[in-house]
Copies of this chain bind each other. A is one copy, B any other.
Amino acid sequence: MVFMGKRAGCTSPTQEEINDRLIALARGGRRVVRLKGGDPFVFGRGGEEVKALSEAGIPCVVIPGVTAGVAVPASLGIPVTHRGTAGSVAFVTGHPGKGKSDPVAWDRLVGAVDTLVIYMGMTRLGDIVKALLAGGAAPETPAAVIAHGTTVAQRYVVATLAELPEAVVREAIPTPAIIVVGKVVAERKTFTTLATVAMPSGVLG
């Protein structure tokens, strides 16, 4: 068992180092299982690993997983789609990658989808909210930030889109976290008998 994940405060292996390790282990005659949290093909770098393995001529199989953008909102009783409320959902990355320009057209997203789920957006939350509001998003759109989703360390805050950055600071919501924007965030209030994951702390909006 080789840990290749990211931990706050520690030096994380680069994607290239991970790819190299996979290839080296496979060439050493081993059957290698690369276990990821979530789904490998939804902001999971799975494609990059498959590509590296393909270039090295190493056969591989991908087994899909449950992605955080679905499971983390669900843990709070937020359905990312809901008939009559949301017929579309977008999963986007808030993290453009080192030295890269932002790949997300925030202004175009407004009105294009009913629910917006942002992965890795916490360090840029203020700018993202500004861009969405500038694109025409209603300031009172329900929104949530859920940190350490589905774990016992889960913490969250629910606020309007405009008030979300301030609420996150006030409640000292840590990272990593999933950001959800859309009417479905309010929908969970009608799910009165739904058991959600145990949360030691959190602010109910």
- Residues on A close to B: CB < 8 A? 39-43, 45-48, 50-51, 53-54, 57-62, 64-67, 70-71, 73-74, 77-83, 85, 87-93, 96-97, 103-105, 108-109, 111-114, 184, 187, 190-195
Complex alpha-carbon distance, A53 and B65, angstroms: 28
> Given A59-B193, A92-B88, A47 and B109 touching (CB < 8 A)?
no
Are B187 and A47 neighbours in the complex by a CB distance under 8 Å? yes
Q: How far is the CB of A76 from chain B (nearest CB, A)?
A: 11
Are B79 and A46 neighbours in the complex by a CB distance under 8 Å? yes
Tally of this chain's copies = 2
Complex alpha-carbon distance, A87 and B91, angstroms: 9
Are A83 and B60 neighbours in the complex by a CB distance under 8 Å? no
> Given A60-B194, A109-B112, A193-B53, A93 and B87 touching (CB < 8 A)?
yes
Are A195 and B59 neighbours in the complex by a CB distance under 8 Å? yes
Complex alpha-carbon distance, A66 and B69, angstroms: 11
Complex alpha-carbon distance, A60 and B194, angstroms: 5
Are B114 and A112 neighbours in the complex by a CB distance under 8 Å? no
Are A82 and B47 neighbours in the complex by a CB distance under 8 Å? yes
Inside 8 A of A77's CB, which chain B residues have their CB? 50, 62
Nearest-CB residue, chain B, relative to A102: B87
Q: Which 3 A-B pairs have the closest CB atoms?
A: A87-B103, A41-B79, A47-B79
